[in-house]
Amino acid sequence: MDIARTPATPDGNPEMADAAYEPKAPPEIRRSDYAPFPWLVPTTRLEFELGLERTRVTARLDVERNPVAAVSPTIRLNGDGLELASLTCDGGEPEGRMMDGDDLLVTLSGDRHVLEIVTEIDPSANSQLMGLYASGGMLCTQCEAEGFRRITFFPDRPDVLSTYSVRMSGAKAQFPVLLCNGNRVDSGESADGGDHWAEWHDPWPKPSYLFALVAGDLVARSDSFTTMGGRDVELNVYVRDGDLDRTEHAMESLKRSMKWDEEVFGREYDLDLFNIVAVSDFNMGAMENKGLNIFNTKYVLADTETATDGDYDGIEGVIGHEYFHNWSGNRVTCRDWFQLSLKEGFTVLRDQLFSADMGSEPVKRIEDVRILRGVQFPEDSGPLAHPIRPDSYREISNFYTATVYNKGAEVIRMMRTMAGEKAFRRGTDLYFKRHDGEAATCEDFVRAMEDGTGLDLEQFRLWYSQAGTPKVAATLSHDGDVATLKLTQTVPPTPGQPDKKPMPIPFRVALFDRKAGTHSGEQLLVLDRASAEFTFEGFAHKPVLSINRGFSAPVSIERDVSREELVFLAARDDDPFARYEAMQELMTGYLVGSVSGDLDESESEAARGDIAEALKAVVEDDQLDDLMRGELLMMPSQSYIGEQMLVADPGAIHVAREALKTDLGTRLGEALHRLYDRAAQVPFSLDAEAKGARKIKTLVLSYAAASDPAKAAELAASQYDRADNMTDRQGALMVLAGLDSAERTARLLDFYNRYRGNALVVDKWFALQASSLHPQVVAHVEALRSHPDFNLRNPNRVRSLYMAFAANPAGFHAADGAGYRMIADLVLELDPINAQTAARFVPSLGRWRRIEEKRAAMMRDALERIARAPKLSRDTFEQVTRSLG
């Protein structure tokens, strides 16, 4: 499924730790308590009599005792708000039954039984969008992690695998398309033609979280794919009528994914049918249900008039991710939810490698690292820090995190780096062979990698159990013709883990001859102790260190390096990521020093001059493609700058960052505008050159907006008016949205009127305003909350306005606390409607320990106000109480 620390007491505010609000907590579930389920469910037969307001579900379960589990006289069938219409065991009354909370306990004395359970549910009332729910006149499901228990009573846990046969029936006019997992085996209709039915069978055992059903009025783009084994697979992308012409890219992405997975991982598709359905009401990005992937419309629909280059890339990546789950998640699933990174971390790595092969490998790597640093590093250094394999949870939906997904991918990538690509492939082949059809663990994966690659990963397992981002100090010294690199690692304390052990950290490094501007080759070093030294001979002069090339390890590096050396690396490093890193470090170092007051005026001027010199070299480097040039020209985000400080002042960081942008835009104005003019001559296409040109134009506009707002408004308005694609139009409007100008008002109105019938583009309209640098952004968001097109029950619309605002440091961290109060108000209003979506807003407030004292107090007040609310969901309760500490 797709979807991104410090000590317990707050920095500088120890008195705050004593005021934590502590309501009654939901029960804690511990990994150490895992035990196999006492009963197996080899086959499950489901019958759905479908209706938007009343659906009747009949479940027939063949159950038998699990020989590897402790004997139990009862079977626990999980439920969530269900009403039991009837229950039989072997055709008669069960020996005993009782309710335990929402769960149904049935007494079973024999070794094998057949249970028949009938429930009735109201999909139209299901605003949580978990289980079976109604969306715009259609029915669909979302069962990961624990949604199946909202459909029928069942052992709703990932280690209970069953083969499913499903019969669906309903009004043909209302539900002309009936879809389920697996292959369709039969269909028909009633004598009068009013109702129809379809039967589906999935031959591959799966856990209940992978069950899926869709019924509605849909149309399909159809195609086919022939697997490497000769199987002909029918492919369909189902959407609502009117959206079909925006599905070509999704279909092509699916076919590329299937071909790539065969070629790179040897994984062949295993059914006769693969269906994708686009749904407008969806909590996540997409879901990998076996043979029936359900997607948020955002990750299916695209054409050049309505989708940006980023949208195209996102669709390809998410479709790849969900398809790759067919093996890394479906054929081999996770034993329990503590093993979530087994499928998600591995599959994120697979989709990253796929996207890199489909586009620019270095740019994709930089994008992945930016997400990791922007979301996961803060998670690792805050109250919600947890290992990629957590030890406990209260609500599993809160652990669909950047740590489990993105850091999990980096951990597996490190194994690949240490083993090499060929050995890594041997390890993954062995993993799939050993555990096909099983519910496996992270340990199973690591053991397969050991056996397949020959690596000793005993110490490496610490990456699965320890939270926190390692900090590595790197110092390079020189004596005679020998250079010595000293590396020292520390893993900061995190909640529940005050003391950490050293972990193996693979570093790709190169030493540059500063005069020649070249190096003699890259080396792989593994730091597996608290401190180690590595020597390199043959250097008459001190070389320049290029470290963590390609971001070979998810760590934070503190290196003793001069600005002169950073300028050298920013201009000369042949590793694209290392070059990007040097540029980021140049700007971040200056901004941190500027905010902290560590630089006097002459030092500040010299630093700004060095940054401008490095950027000018990037602008004028004719060996760079524009996609990479755009990455090198991009300033570090405000949140990343704040992460480099023990206590951050968001207001001061914003002022310093905008001042640097103004300075650079002024110094480099002529060169940047020449770059813009050149990029503007590139005709539209979806190839790399044209995408890079569009990226450059938006970056130049952003620098111009800071240094010459009037000129920027004129240029952005002109770009908006002439745009023949959404990337150029949205890029121009993004810049205009932050300016107080007539051009801003006119183009925002035009954009809305042009696209008012397109929900995904209207989402962009909301998000552009909520994420803008406009000084009145808080008032704008408050006004947009009352807009007729805002809908609190649609997760996409909520995220487009409020998640964009929560990620906007200038607005969210408003000095008067209005941004914090706004998000707290939203959480309280949204929690009873959609707890999963509401809970995802809490972490933005949970960073209070790393924020200056005045703002920290207001953020904590907002959290305590949420915590005091009666009847908080488990999702939100856990996030709030952990954030308070």
Q: Tokens at residue 817, please?
A: 């606390």
Active-site annotation holder among 322, 581, 631, 643: 322
Residue 438 bridge partners (DSSP): 332
Provide φ and ψ at 733, rounded to 5°. Answer: -70, -35
Residue 166 backbone phi and psi in degrees, to 5: -135, 135
CB within 8 A of 824, min separation 6: which ones? 845, 862, 863, 865, 866
Q: Helices 874-884 and 853-867: crossing angle, nearest 10°? A: 150
Strand pairing partners for 537? 482
> Of 78, 330, 77, 329, which Cα lies nearest the Cα of 202?
330
Contact 694, 727 (CB under 8 A): yes
C-alpha to C-alpha distance for 537 and 559, rounded to whole angstroms: 21
- Joined together, the tokens standing for residue 74 give 């009862």
Please state, in angstroms and rounded to a whole number, the distance separating the CA atoms of residues 272 and 55.
29
For 495-591, strand residue ranges (E) read 505-513, 518-519, 523-527, 531-537, 544-546, 556-559
CA separation for the pair 590, 883 (Å, rounded): 31
Does the annotation mark 322 as catalytic?
yes
CA dihedral over 443, 445, 450, 456, signed as positive or negative: negative
Phi first, then psi: give them for residue 302, nearest 5 degrees: -160, 135
57/50 Cα distance (integer angstroms): 8
How far is Cα 736 from Cα 712, in angstroms, rounded to an integer?
8
Contacts of 501 (CB under 8 A, 6+ apart): 462, 466, 491
Peptide bond into 145 cis (omega under 30): yes
Contact 492, 468 (CB under 8 A): yes
The span from the CA of 680 to the CA of 778, in Å, is: 34
- CA–chain centroid gap for 797, Å, is 18
- Coil, strand or helix at 74: strand
440-to-161, 181, 326, 396, 869 alpha-carbon distances in Å: 12, 22, 15, 18, 39
Half-sphere exposure of 376 (CA within 13 A, CB side): 31
- Rounded Cα gap, residues 167 and 815, in angstroms: 58
Question: Alpha-carbon distance 620 to 668, whole Å?
Answer: 11
For residue 833, the SS3 value is coil
Structure tokens belonging to residue 561: 């390096």
Task: List 351's β-bridge partners, or say none.
Answer: none
Q: Which phi-psi region, left, alpha or beta, contains residue 724 (left: φ > 0; alpha: ψ -120 to 50)?
A: alpha
**At 307, is the secondary structure helix, strand, or coil?**
coil
Q: What tokens were used for 285?
A: 């990005």
For residue 245, the tally of other CB atoms under 10 A from its CB is 10
- Which residues, 6+ apart, have CB-to-CB distance to 609 below 8 Å? none
Dig out the tokens for 576 from the structure: 């694209």
Give backbone dihedrals phi and psi of 712, rounded to 5 degrees, phi first.
-60, -40
Distance CA 79, CA 829 (A): 26
| Active site residues per annotation | 322
